[in-house]
Amino acid sequence: MTDYPHPIIAREGWLFIAIALLAALGVWFLAGFAWSLPFWIFLVFCVQFFRDPPRNVPSGERMVLSPADGRIVVIEPARDPWLNRDCLKISVFMNVFNVHSNRSPVEGQVVQRWYCPGAFVNAALDKASVENERNALHIRTNDGRDITCVQVAGLIARRILCYVDAGSTLARGQRYGFIRFGSRVDLYLPSDTRAKVGVGETVKATTTVLAELS
């Protein structure tokens, strides 16, 4: 996407990578390479965690794209706690080795944004959707479909970043946020939506089609 000209590494990681590099070099200079090895390992971890490669956007206006890299942990009928409606819930769990950039699953306008502080239990657990820190977007598609996209913090994640608010317009696959160090994204879709993935399946942000709107 042209709206975020990142050079493969997400801007959220530049400070962490710089600190890790300086620490590794400093310890190597002062104490030798052996003592600096853990810092070099941490530097490699930071680079892989904050990688943010560009993604191709599949065609199809009714397609709901994955908002995150990770593994499908929930596909079930549920109650949307934000819009108070019956829906289809699809959840993507991200471990620390996944890309953590979050992207819009559909094209539309952000109607409302909610932020809720909370706990930091394992994001793979169902209770994380209602107990953990979370940031929710109500997105209305161009044909009037309502979708709720929720960033949920995890056991290690302590920082949810969201760069859009009510009134913002999102393109399909547009980068809109980031969650640091393990988390999940919940999608609450219209109840007649057809899932295109299965529980346990590995998905990629933007490139994987999660569902099709009826």
Residue 59 appears among annotated catalytic residues: no
Cα–chain-centroid distance for residue 107?
A: 16
Radius of gyration of the chain from its Cα atoms, rounded to whole angstroms: 18
Choose the catalytic residue: 129, 183, 191, 214. 183
Mean of pLDDT over the chain: 87
Rounded to the nearest 10 degrees, what angle do helices 33-49 and 14-31 cross at?
A: 170
Give the chain's residues under pLDDT 70. Answer: 1-7, 118-131, 154-158, 181-182
Residues 84 and 140: beta-carbon distance below 8 Å:
no
CA distance 33 to 13: 24
Structure tokens at 91: 């959840």
Q: Name the CATH superfamily for 63-212.
A: Glucose Permease (Domain IIA) (2.70.70.10)
Q: What is the pLDDT of residue 60?
A: 82
Q: Give 1's contacts (C-beta < 8 A, 6+ positions apart).
A: 54, 55, 57, 171, 173, 174, 175
Q: What is the pLDDT of residue 7?
A: 60
The structure's pTM equals 0.84
Residues 176 and 103: beta-carbon distance below 8 Å:
yes
